[in-house]
Structure 1
Amino acid sequence: MVKIGFIGVGVMGRPMVRNLLRAGYDVAVYTRTKAKVEAFLRETGVQWCGTAAACAAGRDVVITMVGYPQDVEQVYFGAGGILPAADAGAYLIDMTTTDPRLSARIYQEAAARGLHALDAPVSGGEAGAQNGTLSVMVGGDPADFDACLPVLRAMGTTVVYEGAAGAGQHAKMANQIAIAGALSGVCEALRYAEQAGLDTGRLLDSIGKGAAGSWQMSNLMPKMIAHDNAPGFFLKHFVKDMQIARSQPGAPLPVLELVCGMCTALEREGRGEDGTQALIEFYRAQGV
């Protein structure tokens, strides 16, 4: 039986662990605050480890799903981290959305230690994690991708090899850039309809399945209409992703810049733990 250490058991991590357990894997977990996962530990019976290093030791595969690039750096390179603790030959899969340059650094250090590293960020939000339907974008060596494919398919239905180390993160950046445009488009359409006095539920029925339709419209416009800002994906994490995309060399990203500015303003107002659909509140507050 493949033994997996899973580090980061939050909104996304918990359902991903459940799907690994359903697939028959032996999973141990680590998270910084045990109290936050006590109910999850009782429900699943998984072993909790006191450090990232303890979670990595003796495991065939180590998966990380943490919040920010600095968290990734800490769990891999910091005291009590993964790299010194993992057994030779182990596979390290970082599923956090992080900086492609950090993924390349992890890959290089892992290779020097006889370890196999993949960057494998995901798209699909909490619902995708719960249903095991995540889209997984993977960078690293092709042979390592093939070896880890069964594990990744336990959590996602679309698992694509993107290229060398860091390529998975670059693919995720492209995904987030596309979301920024789609999400802001949904907000503008809804705000226009509200100001025009339209029945917004009928509007969604009218345009949601046509050329204007998108995942953002189908899944988030109903929440916007209901003034439901509960997170499927935290606004603060979307801001983090957009800031990473902005920091990469390349062509100008004017739409991303605009949406990042709006979401950053909302985060400063204390809305960071709202869902990304809370972007509509920026439009409503501005009277746009």
Structure 2
Amino acid sequence: MSLTPKNTVIGFIGTGVMGKSMAGHLLKAGYSLKVYNRTKAKAQELLEQGALWSEKVAELAAECQVIITMIGYPKDVEAIYFGNDGLLYNAKPGTYLLDMTTSSPELAVRIEQAAKAKSLQALDAPVSGGDVGAKEARLAIMVGGESEAFAAVRPILELMGKNIVLQGPAGAGQHTKMCNQIAIAANMMGVCEAMAYAQKAGLDPKVVLQSIETGAAGSWSLSNLAPRMLAGNFEPGFYIKHFIKDMRIAIESAQQMGLNTPALDLAVKLYEQLAAQGEENSGTQALFKYYR
């Protein structure tokens, strides 16, 4: 059975900075949407657009054919999936579970194994693209899991993203997201240092950007986050506290594989210094403050 708006109720857990926009695209496509968030106020905009509120995770799980989670930390994912009132114990057989949180590859494997035992289909599908990508439905979505389940939910994923790739079995999506975060961590240091250098040299950093963002130095962070940092806009498209979480997962996974990650090790130290100074709820571009 295809998962069309006529026959499918989607549950969405985690309506924060990115989740709110992602869930909104599903509503606009005509899907019935049930939402749950620890703070109901964060779901208010979706409720006004026609989403239905679930008081408990178990209630949502029992009423949906597809359930998407977009939450904060691996411990939150563990609780939402494995708790007595969680998804694995309350979802109906045949339900598709999509964890789009950036989380642990090992946890993704455990979720899929537990899901199979209960006749559920689980995929790990973390995303990249930040608040802008979420709003514009052009996220990169990195998927781990079985190809049949991926094919079934792909039309739903296409409502939220443009670059959607099945990377391999369970956990492969999370491993791919770790590659993404490692690349971003080193790049963010370079972007901040470049802008700080431009200022120290007496250049106009905005004019410098015009020259370097289309050349070999070009990157998403340079084009999208450098203008924010130069404008003094440190509002979160992606929280520093969540980026630290991601980098810690990547470091732990790399250590388990015997891989050294010196650039990542330095990046997490710099971000942890910022967090200790009260910047944990700022956007990742606030690393620029370290250089100022």
Scaled to the shorter chain, the TM-score interval is over 0.9
- Please tell me the residue identity of whatever aligns with 2:55: G
Counterpart of 2:64? 59
Counterpart of 2:35? 29
SS of 1:117's equivalent? strand
1:41 aligns with 2:86: no
Counterpart of 1:256? 264
Q: CA deviation at 1:36?
A: 3.2
1:195 aligns with 2:205: no
Q: CA deviation at 1:71?
A: 0.5
Q: CA deviation at 1:58?
A: 2.3
Counterpart of 2:224? 219
1:276 aligns with 2:284: yes
Q: CA deviation at 1:282?
A: 1.1
SS of 1:79's equivalent? coil
Counterpart of 2:55? 50
- TM-score normalised over the length of structure 1: 0.96
Q: CA deviation at 1:201?
A: 1.1
Q: Please say if residues 61 and 90 of structure 2, whose CA atoms lie closer than 8 Å, have aligned partners that are also in contact.
A: yes
Correspondences of 1:1-288 after superposition (within 5 Å): 1=6, 2-42=8-48, 44-248=49-253, 249-250=256-257, 251-284=259-292
Taking the aligned partners of 1:141 and 1:237, their CA distance within structure 2 comes to: 28
Q: CA deviation at 1:209?
A: 1.0
Taking the aligned partners of 1:108 and 1:47, their CA distance within structure 2 comes to: 30
- Please tell me the residue identity of whatever aligns with 1:162: Q
Taking the aligned partners of 2:121 and 2:46, their CA distance within structure 1 comes to: 29
How many pairs align?
283
Aligned structure 1 segments of 4 or more residues deviating by more than 6 angstroms: none
Q: CA deviation at 1:125?
A: 0.5
Kindly report the root-mean-square deviation, in angstroms, between the aligned alpha carbons of the 2 structures: 0.9
Q: Deviations over 1:114-138 (max 9, x none)?
A: 0000000000011111111000000
- TM-score normalised over the length of structure 2: 0.95
Taking the aligned partners of 1:36 and 1:201, their CA distance within structure 2 comes to: 35
Q: CA deviation at 1:210?
A: 1.1
Q: Please say if residues 35 and 43 of structure 2, whose CA atoms lie closer than 8 Å, have aligned partners that are also in contact.
A: no
SS of 2:191's equivalent? helix
- Please tell me the residue identity of whatever aligns with 2:97: L
Q: CA deviation at 1:40?
A: 3.4
Q: Please say if residues 27 and 50 of structure 2, whose CA atoms lie closer than 8 Å, have aligned partners that are also in contact.
A: no
SS of 1:210's equivalent? coil
Q: Deviations over 1:78-136 (max 9, x none)?
A: 13111111000110000000000000000000000000000000000111111110000
SS of 2:273's equivalent? helix
Q: Flag structure 2 segments of 5+ consecutive residues without an equivalent.
A: 1-5
Taking the aligned partners of 1:151 and 1:236, their CA distance within structure 2 comes to: 29
Percent identical residues: 52
Q: Deviations over 1:21-43 (max 9, x none)?
A: 1222111100011133334312x
